A and B are shown apart, each in its own frame.
Chain A
Amino acid sequence: MKHSRNVLPIVRLFAVALALSLIAAACGDDVSETIASSTAEAEAMADDAMEDEAMEDDSAMEDDGAMGDASTCFDAPADSPLVDSTVDASGTTITLATHDSFALSDTTLAEFTEATGITVEQVAVGDAGQLVSQSILTKDNPTADVLFGIDNSFLCRGLEAGLFVPYESPMLATVDTALRLDPHNRATPIDFGDVCVNYWSEALPGDAPASLDDLIDPANAGQFVTMNPETSSPGFAFLLATIAKYGEDGWEDYWTSLMANGASVTAGWSDAYYGEFTAGGGERSIVTSYASSPPAEFLFADPPVDAPPTGVLKDSCFRQIEFAGILAGSENTGAAAQLIDFMLDTTFQEDVPLNMFVYPANGDAELPEAFVEWGPLVDDALTIDPATIEAHRDDWTERWNAIVTS
């Protein structure tokens, strides 16, 4: 029976822990408010500290339209050996690192192997953010020869880390210059797409929203759901869209009104689109998604439909461009360059839309019919220079957090 004495202290301890937790839970709101307020305080302090810097930045923005001095990412890279794509690399094996969303038809890469004799192995890692972080972490001993899937919002982070070696593919001639962001061709544009606000036509309370301003209209109260920019790539793109639209001075007010109008913020695209949006049986009829979402809703409708149930708010589209690059440290740069060429070739480019629901960078590639009909891109999509994004990302997301959690 000597153990029995020991039972009580445990029970007591447990009871105390439980009581403490219950108290904490009871004042749960207080706690989160404390977090929010202390975050806000910290930010206020940081803001003060950065005031001067920010003013410099602002004036820089006005002086220099490209805002190029915000980051050094487009400066000429240190000399690196020229990549020669004309070598006979037949028999070599190279590795292509991608994010989880990368997919192709079964035969596409086989065509490359048949034409060049180069075997391509693939390794997929999480989402685009994980892919970039992982590549920076393993920079000195890269996992792969070619990386695909770094987008314009992460581009400067990758370039500044020195992930890629320059390679000017002859196929770049087929690509719209607006997509060729890196003047030194370390990152080659492969595809692009727009993150746009979508709506479920039949579930809308009134007229379809025509501009970002309509989302703060009381008529659309409680209708909009978007994602946390720190955990979701389209969520970040939407934040960038509002910054591009309302400017450095206006976007915070816009977000304050947006939240006041009952907007909801989820962690990821899936919990927004299939959770709170009409598509998943949710109560909200407006969601942040892609320009290619209506074509997908059309193609994968069940039962088949004549027109997609969703539409796009064209005023809200932020352009995302996805790049590929030859990783510094690759020992097969010749073969890697041939793979980059192939990725811009029409075979690969025309395979991209229906597998990844993005648009080919090669202007000669033909678009699937559903994309032409239901997913035409706008000519004047919103955009922000990658160097500016990289310079302000943490500041913007912190300020966003302060608005959304207050």
Chain B
Amino acid sequence: MERHRDQLGNSRFRRTGFLVGPAVFLAVFFGWPVLQLLWRGLGDDPGALTDIATSSSLRNVLWFTLWQAVLSTALTLVVALPLTAVVANVSFRGRRLVNALVTIPFVLPTVVVAGAFLATGDRLNLTEGPFALNKSVFAILAAHVFFNVAVVVRTVGGYWRQLSRDDEHAARTLGSSPWQSFSRITLRRLRPSILAATSIVFLFTFTSFGVVLILGGARQRTIETEIFRYAISRTDFATAAALSILQLLAVVTLVWFNLRLRGRLDQSDRLGDRLLPASGWVRLVAPFTVLATLALLFVPIVILIEQSLRTGDGVGLANYQALTERPPFLTVTPQRAIINSLGFALVASTIATVFGGWASLAIVYGRSKAATLLDIAYLMPLGTSAVTLGFGILITFDSGWLDLRQSWFIIPLAQALIGIPFVTRAVVPVLRSIDPSLRDAAASMGASPSKIWRDIDLPIARRALVVGAGFAFAISLGEFGATSFVGRRPDHMTVPLAIARLLGQPGQSIRGQAMALSVVLMVVTTIVLLVVDRADRSSVL
């Protein structure tokens, strides 16, 4: 830590100044709106706070929210880590494609996935019992794994890939078994990245809304669904605000706990490229792992594709051809919705990458207390209810030069806030892993701090930035909650909103179009991620 600070020169001003930018951005666009909404809500009835603090049914809700999130996160790690090991260690044709394909579930609208799960349940005869794929806790867990495998594969995979193999080689030479070298060395080295991915998956599942509502059935309630119930179904903003405070407190505590696990010390590590062609037993296990994981993820997706191809006359592309025309009840053509979504995603991921990258530097080099605060704060948007975030933005930026309510910018802004944690969680561990002696050497030769960032940190963090940017893009493409709350001009309709609208209309040809649009969303996501992932080619490693 001391050494990091030295590289920035001893200027306290410089270090503090560096924190100010990301801190102000988050305070203005996240902290202020959320506080405004909480203040406004509790202003109606401050007693709501004590009401929920003493409610026994709420304790059950909090407990369920917590354990389903912990279990979802654990299952996601179990399912994702084998594939992560393969894409981080083995070079094979189609590695990038696998990396892109696992991200597809991430952008699919919940209502579409729920439909696919139901159909899968029907076919596999999983409609009842503990493993039913509809209206059960298992369905919630399975969907959470389905959505989040990509977070682990891409975040941890990207980090793992740039750790040199030297340490494990040394251990093996000294007589360790492969398992010993993995558990004692590799797992330890991966710790920062696994914890980072864990925090993301945990927050994602802790605040998950559609999955719980649709796949959980009327019986399962989480803090997030309760916030929605009180704010929307009952217009009881006081209770909704009190629940939001509870949610925020829980999230801060858990994030803090996660950061404690990571430990106080930076973990610098030897970097190098791990990718090697498969040999020996890996040759057998690697393809099996890739195929098995993809098969698991693609069972529901194949059903979607099949439904999109089903037409009145049998099988065909009619549903896809229909996407160029505007059905009467949709405000734009589905084609235009795709262009809208891509535009918003471009802006949102740019904001998220710039501020997420900047915040990562500030977190790693900032003064320790302030940096830790910033670290926690930059995870918060992901742990905040879409209701709180969306309504907060709406009542805050409503006048003067910050009147964003009629502006298209409000959409990518809300989406960027949710995407930012993905960037910092990918980048911070990588920046920490850079051996300080690299920077020391550069500094002693007279390089300025900005030159050090440019020539050392940026190239090494580039791959992580790309991973984060890809996620921010995908988040924006698939985002539904906050987008539906902030309001938009009808011609700014996005793909998830269009799919939801199509699926709100009876008529057999309409459903086919919704499925076709979902498949197009998957294809677009894959292509974009393949392109984005190319950007890490010129990495120094």
Listed in ascending order, the chain A residues whose CB lies under 8 Å from chain B are 3-4, 6-7, 10, 13-14, 17-18, 20-22, 24-25, 28, 31-32, 34-36, 38-39, 42, 95, 97-98, 100-103, 105, 121-127, 129-130, 132-134, 136-138, 141, 143, 157, 161, 228, 230-231, 264-271, 273-276, 279-283, 289-290, 293, 296-297, 299-304, 310, 354-357, 393-394, 397, 401, 404-405
Q: Do residues A100 and B501 form an inter-chain contact, with CB atoms below 8 A? A: yes
- Are A404 and B218 also in contact (CB < 8 A) when A35-B61, A124-B490 are? yes
Q: Check if A275 sits within 8 Å of B218, measured CB to CB.
A: no
Say which residue of B67, B234, B398 sits within 8 Å of A141 (CB atoms): B398
Interface contact B329-A42, CB-CB below 8 Å: no
Q: Which residue of A lies closest to B198 (CB)?
A: A14
Q: Decide if A32 touches B219 in the complex (CB within 8 Å).
A: yes
Give 1 or 0 for each of B196-237: 1 = CB within 8 Å of chain A CB.
000000000000000001100111110000001101111101
Q: Is the CB of B504 within 8 A of A293?
A: no
Q: Are B234 and A282 in contact (CB under 8 A)?
A: no
Instruction: Give the residue name and chain of the B residue nearest to A235 (CB).
Output: B218
Contact between B503 and A405 (Cβ–Cβ < 8 Å)?
no
- Asked whether A230 and B214 contact (CB < 8 A) given A124-B331, A271-B115, A276-B118, the answer is no
| Partner among A102, A274, A354 whose Cβ is within 8 Å of the Cβ of B115 | A274
The chain B residue sitting closest to A406, CB to CB, is B219
Interface centre among B130, B141, B490, B510 (most CB of A within 10 A): B490
B184 close to chain A: CB less than 8 A: yes
Q: Does B511 belong to the interface (CB within 8 Å)?
A: yes
Tell me which residues across on chain B come within 8 A of A270, comparing CB atoms: 111, 115, 500, 503-504
Residues of A within 8 A of B64 (CB): 31-32, 35
CB distance from B20 to the nearest CB of A (A): 30
B114 / chain A contacts, CB cutoff of 8 Å: 271, 275
Chain A residue numbers with a CB within 8 Å of B237 are 137
A-B contact pairs, 20 of them (CB 8 A): A4-B184, A25-B137, A32-B219, A35-B60, A35-B61, A36-B219, A38-B57, A42-B55, A97-B487, A100-B501, A123-B405, A123-B406, A124-B493, A137-B391, A161-B235, A267-B218, A275-B115, A282-B122, A297-B506, A302-B311
- List B residues 92-129 near A (Cβ within 8 Å): 111, 114-115, 118-119, 122
- In the bound complex, residues from chain B placing their C-beta under 8 Å from that of A25 are 67, 71, 137, 141
Does the CB pair A21–B233 fall under 8 Å?
Answer: no
Q: Does B56 contact A (CB under 8 A)?
A: yes
Given the known A-B contacts A143-B487, A302-B512, are A13 and B235 also in contact in the complex, defined by CB atoms under 8 Å? no
B17 contacts chain A at the CB level, 8 A cutoff: no
Query: Would A138 and B395 count as touching, CB distance under 8 A?
Result: yes
Taken together as a complex, chains A and B put the C-alpha atoms of A255 and B505 apart, in Å, by: 27
* Besides the known contacts A21-B71, A271-B114, 15 further A-B residue pairs in the complex with CB atoms under 8 A apart: A20-B67, A42-B57, A97-B487, A124-B493, A133-B231, A134-B391, A143-B394, A231-B233, A265-B218, A270-B115, A275-B114, A296-B510, A299-B507, A300-B505, A357-B505
Q: Once the chains are docked, how many angstroms separate the CA of A228 from the CA of B503? A: 17
Please determine whether A138 and B497 come into contact, CB atoms closer than 8 angstroms: no
| B305 at interface, CB cutoff 8 A | no
| Complex: chain B residue closest to A154, CB-CB | B235
Q: Which B residues touch A397, using CB under 8 A?
A: 233
The 8 closest A-B pairs by CB, nearest first: A300-B507, A303-B312, A302-B312, A21-B71, A302-B509, A24-B67, A270-B503, A125-B487
The answer to whether B406 touches A282, judged by C-beta atoms less than 8 angstroms apart, is no
C-alpha spacing A137/B505, complex, angstroms = 29
Known contacts: A270-B503, A282-B118. The answer to whether A31 contacts B511 by CB under 8 A is: no
Contacts of A34 in B (CB 8 A): 60
- For residues 383 through 414 of chain B, which have their beta carbon under 8 Å from a beta carbon of chain A? 391, 394-395, 398-399, 405-406
- Minimum CB–CB distance from B25 to chain A (whole Å) comes to 24
Main secondary structure of the interface of B (DSSP, over half): helix
Verify A281–B60 contact, CB threshold 8 A.
Answer: no
Contact of B119 among A98, A125, A281, A355 (CB under 8 A): A281
CA–CA, A228 to B212, complex, Å?
13
- Once bound together, how far apart are the Cα atoms of A296 and B141, in whole Å? 36
Query: Which residues in B have their C-beta under 8 angstroms from that of A405?
Result: 218-219
Cβ of B137 and Cβ of A274 under 8 Å apart?
no
- Which of B60, B61, B221, B233 has the most A CB atoms < 10 Å from its CB? B233
Contacts of B56 in A (CB 8 A): 38, 42
Contacting residue for A35 out of B57, B395, B509, CB 8 A = B57
User: B9 at interface (Cβ–Cβ under 8 A)?
Assistant: no
Contact A10-B312, Cβ < 8 Å, known A21-B70, A133-B235, A273-B506: no
Which of the listed residues A157, A274, A304, A401 has the most CB atoms from chain B within 10 Å of its own CB?
A274
Residue in B60, B231, B263, B406 whose CB lies within 8 Å of A31: B60
Q: Which residue from B134, B188, B234, B311 sits with its C-beta under 8 Å from A3?
A: B188
Beta-carbon nearest neighbor of A122 in chain B: B490
Which one of A103, A121, A302 contacts B489 once the chains associate, using CB atoms below 8 Å? A121
Contact among B61, B137, B313, B490 for A303, CB-based, below 8 A: B313
Residues in B with CB closer than 8 Å to A7 are 183-184, 187-188, 191
- Rounded to whole Å, the gap between the CB of B392 and the closest CB of chain A is 10
Give Cα A230 to B111, complex, Å: 17
- In the complex formed, the residue of B with least CB distance to A17 is B70
Interchain CB contact under 8 A, B191 and A132? no
A14 lies within 8 A of B489 (CB): no
The answer to whether B71 touches A18, judged by C-beta atoms less than 8 angstroms apart, is: yes
Contact partner of A10 among B141, B261, B490, B508, CB < 8 A? B261
Q: Which of A24, A141, A228, A274 is close to B511, meaning CB atoms less than 8 Å apart? A: A274
Q: B288 contacts the other chain (Cβ, under 8 Å)? A: no
Contacts of A157 in B (CB 8 A): 235
The answer to whether B485 and A101 have CB atoms under 8 Å apart is no
Say whether, besides A101-B501, A123-B488, A354-B328, A394 and B234 are in contact (CB < 8 Å).
yes
**Which single residue of chain A is at the shortest CB-CB distance from B40?**
A137
Q: Does the CB pair B504–A269 fall under 8 Å? A: yes
Given contacts A21-B74, A125-B485, A137-B391, contact A35 B219 (CB under 8 A): yes
B-side contacts of A401, CB under 8 Å: 218
Contact A301/B331 with A20-B67, A125-B487 known, Cβ cut-off 8 Å: no
Instruction: Please name all residues of chain A whose beta carbon is closer than 8 Å to the beta carbon of B497 when the two chains form the complex.
Output: 100
CB distance from B85 to the nearest CB of A (A): 17
Check B532 for interface membership: any CB of A closer than 8 A: no
Is the pair A280, B115 in contact by a Cβ cutoff of 8 Å? Answer: yes
Contact B235 A132, beta carbon cutoff 8 Å: yes
Nearest B residue to A236 via CB reads B233
Complex contact B220–A103 (CB within 8 A): no
